[in-house]
Structure 1
Amino acid sequence: MQLDLPTFRKIEAVGWTIVICSLILFFGNFFTFVGVCLLIRHGFMIFKRTQLPDVDPAGKWVLVTGCDSGFGLGLAKRLYERGFNVFATCLDPRQAGGTELRTLGSPGGGDGDGAGTGSKGGVLKVMALDVTDDVSVAHCLEMVRRECANSGLWGLVNNAGCNFVGDVELTTVEQYLMQGNVNLYGAVRTCKAFLPLIRQARGRVVNVTSVKGLCVSPSCAAYCLTKFALEAFSDSLRIEMEQFGVGVSIVEPCNFGGVTGCLNEPALKTYIIHLYLIHPGCLKIKNLYPQRQLEEARKCAFTTAPTIEPVLSAFEDALCSPCPKLRYLVKGSNSYFDFY
């Protein structure tokens, strides 16, 4: 039997209606099922975070890199006051940050080796560590093993980092490599060195990236590159470490540069000197770019968060919560919007 065109169109419309309704029914049930599963999982995580006790810091060792200033210095003090045993590593322990920590950790508050015991039983040890130097990392590992060979290392906080402001064309390859060696490969070195001790303790790794590891801004290509890469490294490491009961979290601070000193006037002037004066090759093209970096960085410093307390709280939760988050995006601004 041959169908005329109007009849064929009607049959076609009915057929498509049946197909579409079937798809809606299938995917509607599918997405409902997925939604219920996610809701149950989310509820279970909320229960664990709110009802289960925090990690007991007694006898647990945490190593923090980059304790010379900023987040690292504040975190070392916070963990020590909470009762953790802390390895506070500095690029140069003789500078102000290392001196402050040694004074805090020494018996009687004097200027000693920083190996005293706090009011809650914690121990604070100040050590030198250059995360770009394999020999320095190996030496630090040996010192850590002496202290926690039996217990393992509960936490590793890869906080050490550096920043550089500059347009892609004005930034030298050496400056890209320098940032990568500190921000990315420094974290890789310490993870590879200390993972056996962390696995032993079924502990935590906390890597510090940035909001600029999620979105980019002009004049920050080298910095963003390292932070995006560290995000990927951390996500891969988390999957690998799950079988050993090791947690991996990422802390992503926004604009805290003013309060940490990264955007103070001496630091800003150093950026510009490195960008325009130290590398003569840039002089040929620097006039093509407005020297806006200094003013834009000053604006960021003006709108920076007034305290590093939110970042320290994120670190603390990542190390102490029974169910730490995968990511801690920490707003950093003194206004409603963070334009970092």
Structure 2
Amino acid sequence: MELDLPTFKKIEAVGWTVAICILFLFFGNVGICIGFFILVRKLFMKVKRSKIPEIDPTGKVVVVTGCDSGFGLGLAKRLYERNFSVFACCLNVDSEGAKELKAVGSERLKVVPLDVTNDDSVSKCQRLVKEECANTGLWGLVNNAGLNFVGDVELTTMDQYLTIGNINMYGMVRTCKAFLPLLRQAKGRIVNVTSVKGLYAIPSNAAYTMAKFGAEAFSETLRQEMSQYGVSVSIIEPCNYGGATGCLNEAALKRIKSDLDAQWAEASDDVRQFYGQAHLQQQLEDCKNSSKTSAPNIEPVLKAFEDALVNPCPHIRYLVRGSNSFFDFYYFLALICPYMPQHLFDKARAYFVPYIIYK
């Protein structure tokens, strides 16, 4: 039997009142009470999510950034198939991904230029979207645009720190600020893509993990501020999808090599002597090897996106496994990180993701 959301909210209020009374009546131990409360809440949310019908996408508008390739390209096509109206934002409207989307030839799938690091570009995009949904508001904003990056703390240049932060974190801030009035109007959804590396840090990823940690904190703050206006904020945290998205393809590896070459060029003589050029070459090889262990396709991530946009009770976080084997060590580390003493977690991380300076 399907129930509407207001009815479920009434049942939920009564249910929690009864559950809390039972807790205080029968359990004296605080730990048992907390454990019981968490278990009941998880079971209730599972039932709640399964009984309330999905939101009808018809007539709803979603903006997706970073549609040139990878998750963004796949999601734009998936949402169009689900009957959403989609603004697919591409850094380069002549990219292969943009051409693929244009070839659909539908008014419900528009390819628009967007550079999330540029205020004017974001403003122009917002005006285009507003022309279409000024009366209804914007149902969804998916902040997917981002850039992969590797580099040690000492070797990464200041320009690289600022560039990666501007793309992976401040770009998200710009688009949210621009579209929030339209999202509030529709009581819509914000879906921010971070990474499993936004949950714990690993060596040689300083600029990237800093930006992803910041994006997590921004999303948490935004979620708390927007909840009173009916706007939900969900975070998608993919594990290893580098081989499936193209962010570790031949062109991307050339860019990573160029980044590493820039680090070497700016390094002082004593830093060069300490690390050695072989260390940077090994980092490039590690990226190539990472693509070989990647998830074979992006379907699990697309399902997480869909759920965040159409489920009446979206999750706050979607940690999405990504590996071509049964055991995903990135996912495993994310699960144990909050509960382990730091020195033990560091040992576990070092076992799965070793940091060695090759000279």
TM over 0.5: yes
* 1:236 aligned partner: 221
Contact 1:153 / 1:198 at 8 angstroms: preserved in 2? yes
Q: For residues 1-340 of structure 1, what are the structure 2 equivalents within 5 Å?
A: 28-104=28-104, 106=105, 116-117=106-107, 123-277=108-262, 280-282=265-267, 284=269, 285-289=271-275, 290-291=279-280, 292-339=282-329
Q: Distance in 2 between matches of 1:125 and 1:89?
A: 8
User: In 2, are the aligned partners of 1:276 and 1:282 still within 8 Å (CA)?
Assistant: no
The secondary structure found in structure 2 opposite 1:132 is coil
Partner of 1:63, secondary structure, is: strand
Displacement after TM superposition at 1:30 (Å): 3.3
1:323 alignment partner AA:
C
> What 5-or-longer segments of structure 2 have no aligned partner?
1-24, 331-359
Cα offset, 1:222, TM superposition: 0.3
Return the offset for 1:249.
Answer: 0.4
Give me the whole-angstrom Cα distance separating, in 1, the residues matched to 2:35 and 2:295.
Answer: 37
Gap change, CA 1:278 and 1:217, over 3 Å in 2: closer
Structure 2 SS opposite 1:152: coil
The AA in structure 1 aligned to 2:321 is: K
1:242 & 1:147 partners in 2: Cα distance?
25
TM-score in terms of structure 2 length: 0.80
User: Which runs of at least 4 in structure 1 moved beyond 6 Å after TM superposition?
Assistant: none
Deviations 1:273-330 (CA, angstroms, capped at 9, x unpaired)? 2222576222633343223101211221110010011110110111111111111011
Aligned length: 301
Hey, what's the Cα distance between the residues in 2 that align with 1:287 and 1:48? 60
8 A contact 1:276–1:286 mirrored in 2: no
How much does 1:218 deviate? 1.5
Q: 3-state DSSP class of the match of 2:137?
A: coil
Query: Is the alpha carbon distance of 1:283 and 1:30 closer, same or farther for their aligned partners in structure 2, counting shifts above 3 Å?
Result: closer
Q: Secondary structure at the match of 2:207?
A: helix
1:129 CA displacement: 0.6
**8 Å contact from structure 1 (residues 90, 129) kept in 2:** yes
TM-score scaled by length of structure 1: 0.84
Q: Secondary structure at the match of 2:191?
A: strand
- CA deviation digits over 1:96-118, x for unaligned, max 9? 111110111x1xxxxxxxxx25x
Does structure 2 retain, via aligned residues, the 8 Å contact 1:275–1:282? Answer: no
Q: Indicate the percent of aligned positions where both proteins have the same amino acid.
A: 61
